[in-house]
Amino acid sequence: MLTRRTPLRAAAVAALLSMFAAPALAQEPGLTPTSIKIGLFGPLSGPSMSYGFDVMNAARMYYDKINAEGGIHGRKIELSVQDDRCNANDLVAAVKKLVEQDQVFLLNGASCSAAAVAGKDYVVRSGVPWLMLNASADGALYPPQPNIFGAFSISQRAMGGSIVEFAVKQLNAKKIGYINHDDAYGAWNLEAAQFQAKDNKVDLVVESVNPNISDVTAPLLKLRAANVDVLLIATYARPAQLILKKAYELGFTKPQVLAVNAIANVQQLSENVGSKDAFKNVYIQEVLADKPGSEKLKWVYDMYKTSYPDLASKPDHPQVYMPYGIPSAMAVVKALQDAGPDLTRAKFIEAAKKLNFDSGVMAGPIAFGENERAAQKASIFLKFDGAEMTRVPGAFASRWTYQGQ
């Protein structure tokens, strides 16, 4: 029954609803009409600092550039920075502080995969958008989560697929020897390597070894006896160098390709292996668009020198992974631009899912999808003679996609 009070009640209810609705927009964390707060985190200290210190600096200098150009839809980027030490506990603590205390709009961080995977559950529960820095972190990207995006350098799976593609297309290998680790990372890169080998109709002979292995005679002898056309080394740096040394000692002369995670420092790699003759037929995988220091990437290194003149004057800077921070920051900026001026986390996540652009920094495009959270899937290859690197033409992409396993 309608009464005279009904319009008043309706107005009151409408007013009440609008009171809740308006703050809902206003209370989107980390947003003001003039600023967007981003939580930037990575290793600023500790033994793994080299994986992310300058990567964070690269992201920061890109955000500074965007701010200098006027920001995004009138909003300037504000950074709230945390140190995760590449440690799982520290990363989770850093992420919680950024989300709950600093109230950031989105997270942009993580340079180390194991630590990044530890942050996955909290980030999924909190719903905060998270774009990683250079962590590959397959464990956090597959199965895909709505609000987590990563692998701006390359995922373990894409690394495995890409290196097999190079062996087949460039080195014409029909029978490929593949040494990986017997851990989760090894399982991930092997999954895509096997897919790519099957897709290319070639044989993959696999030897999986422990990361702490001290004698690599057995896997190498077996692969030599199997008469493989090429040896792909998808281990960490120390085992990879032991394999190169042993291959030389055993007279293995077929092409040897080092995956990107097997190379921490090329100069040190050369010194550790010792003999220059060991590098007669060695290739290294690189996920940048060209070899470091090339004309194509000069702008990144120039920007670093301008932004951090004191750091740039030090002998160990910029660190090897520095450029990897750029595509991640680019993705954040592009998604913020695409989400429009009426920004919400939901709109940002939708925009991030549709990203597909050439960063000019990485070997392949930065592209996500409805069911794809790993950004970059291609790599280039450099012939390394122990001193000089020569670019092999072309980029080689992994074709493995998540099939809902």
Residues of the shown chain interacting with other proteins in the complex, contacts defined by CB under 8 A: 47-50, 182, 207-210, 212-215, 217-219, 221-222, 225, 237-238, 241-242, 245, 249-251, 264-265, 268, 271-272, 274-275
Taking the complex as a whole, the smallest distance from the CB of residue 313 to other proteins amounts, in Å, to 17
Of 349, 350, 343, 346, whose CA–CA distance to 34 is shortest?
A: 343
**Closer to other proteins at the Cβ: 211 or 394?**
211
**Closer to other proteins at the Cβ: 49 or 79?**
49
**Closer to other proteins at the Cβ: 252 or 348?**
252
Residues 247, 278 contacting (CB under 8 angstroms): yes
Residues 132, 328 contacting (CB under 8 angstroms): yes
Taking the complex as a whole, the smallest distance from the CB of residue 307 to other proteins amounts, in Å, to 23
Taking the complex as a whole, the smallest distance from the CB of residue 263 to other proteins amounts, in Å, to 10
Query: 187: which 2 tokens?
Result: 């399982």
Taking the complex as a whole, the smallest distance from the CB of residue 395 to other proteins amounts, in Å, to 27
**Closer to other proteins at the Cβ: 366 or 389?**
389
**Closer to other proteins at the Cβ: 163 or 266?**
266
Taking the complex as a whole, the smallest distance from the CB of residue 153 to other proteins amounts, in Å, to 17
CA distance 190 to 94: 32
CA distance 232 to 382: 14
Taking the complex as a whole, the smallest distance from the CB of residue 392 to other proteins amounts, in Å, to 25
Phi and psi dihedrals of 364, rounded to 5? -125, 175
Of 202, 200, 285, 287, whose CA–CA distance to 240 is shortest?
A: 285
Angle at 324 between CA 265 and CA 280, to 5 degrees: 35
**Closer to other proteins at the Cβ: 267 or 313?**
267
What does the chain come to in residues? Answer: 405
Give me the helices (H) in 97-137, please. Answer: 113-126
Taking the complex as a whole, the smallest distance from the CB of residue 174 to other proteins amounts, in Å, to 20
**Closer to other proteins at the Cβ: 96 or 245?**
245
Residue with tokens 């990207």: 141
β-pair type (378-384, 282-286): antiparallel
Residues 400, 191 contacting (CB under 8 angstroms): yes
Q: Which residues, at least 6 apart from 192, have a Cβ–Cβ distance to it below 8 Å? A: 156, 157, 158, 159, 160, 161, 164, 398, 400
